[in-house]
Amino acid sequence: MSRAYNFSAGPATLPLEVLEKAQSELIDYKGTGMSVMEMSHRSKEFIEITKNAEENLRRLMNIPSNYHVLFLQGGASTQFAMVPLNLFSNSKKADIVNTGAWSKKAIAEAKRYGTINVVASSEDKTFTYIPELTKDMFDPSADYVHITTNNTIYGTVYPELPDVGDVPLVADMSSNILSQDYDVTKFGLIYAGAQKNIGPAGVTIVIIRDDLVGHALEFTPTMLNYKTHVDNESMFNTPPCYSIYIAGLVFEYLLHLGGIAAMEKLNREKANILYDYLDSSNLFKGTVEKRSRSIMNIPFVTGNEELDTKFISEASKHNFKTLKGHRTVGGMRASIYNAMPREGVTKLVEFMAEFEKEHS
């Protein structure tokens, strides 16, 4: 068996231990004679899987009891609509910070249902930084404030959360959930598609404070109303069973590792190995302002497009896969999510140093 160092931004690498566990249970889950894929979502076994996954996620993120945890479908992109449909309950105004392509999509979708104020934007410098945000920039009468905590394409992360007063803070945490410690009580709602840091595509995690449920706009489709899923414990219809099962295995794996604090420490070490090299290299350089650097997605360039292409192709031959930057940015991007082993980063840096020597 040979495993690649897979730097894909999503779907992304999963912990080998999780894949092996899933493999061992693939055909016969705990003596049931069936795969989790083949099982009724109302079965005792599957209800147990969901319950454990939720409990373990609550432990990992320290989610208080006044927050619901939902396992939904439709990806983070569906949340761009669900959030305004459910949270526009008073002024129908929202403050959104524009830090990249995903924020823009959230803005475009929310605009269909209310008034959007783009509080700040980093588009002037191709989204290479997180704008400074002060409390006076936010409208106290807004129904919510929306941020993208980690910007997958541009490689930025909020160095700290903005102070938005009593307005519910909504976060698209798709590419850095479970990578660093966040205080859930600072948020009204957190959502994340699974395929970056949680598990396979197909399940979307929503963590929503109790008081924000039950005020959806009148025309909200049943399936897009959080209340539907809260009332039915994510089983209003068939949930993405297998994705939930794998997510559950990932949560267990993280708990065994020592939880989010241990994961965050390792993630910072991994990111520093690559950033330290980029800062010292004469060939490669990072594209993001230092204080906004993501520890999950690290874009870099040589400044020469031909050389970038050559690097990506040679890296791939050496088993470092999917290092091509997003089509809108170019260059390279190393996504080093939780499941990327430290060794993957150290070996990549060794390979980069060799490439640099050959091309200087």
Ligand X SMILES: *Cc1c(COP(=O)(O)O)cnc(C)c1O
- Residues with catalytic roles: 102, 172, 196
Cβ contact 70:230 at 8 Å: yes
Cβ contact 18:249 at 8 Å: yes
CB of 196 to ligand X, least distance (A): 6
Binding site for ligand X (CB under 6 A): 10, 75-77, 102, 148, 152, 172, 174-175, 193, 196
For residues 350 and 356, what is the distance between their CA atoms, to the nearest angstrom? 10
Output the DSSP codes for 186-234: G-SEEEEETTTTTSSTT-EEEEEEGGGSS---TT--GGG-HHHHHHTTT
Cβ contact 299:154 at 8 Å: yes
Q: Which is nearer to ligand X, 194 or 352 (CB)?
A: 194
CB of 9 to ligand X, least distance (A): 7
Which residues, listed in sequence order, are joined to residue 68 by a DSSP beta bridge?
208
Q: Which is nearer to ligand X, 175 or 228 (CB)?
A: 175
Q: Which is nearer to ligand X, 7 or 277 (CB)?
A: 7
Q: Which is nearer to ligand X, 270 or 333 (CB)?
A: 333
Cβ contact 360:307 at 8 Å: no
For residues 227 and 234, what is the distance between their CA atoms, to the nearest angstrom? 10
CB of 280 to ligand X, least distance (A): 29
Nearest Cα neighbor of 243 from 16, 77, 57, 72 is: 72
CB of 186 to ligand X, least distance (A): 18
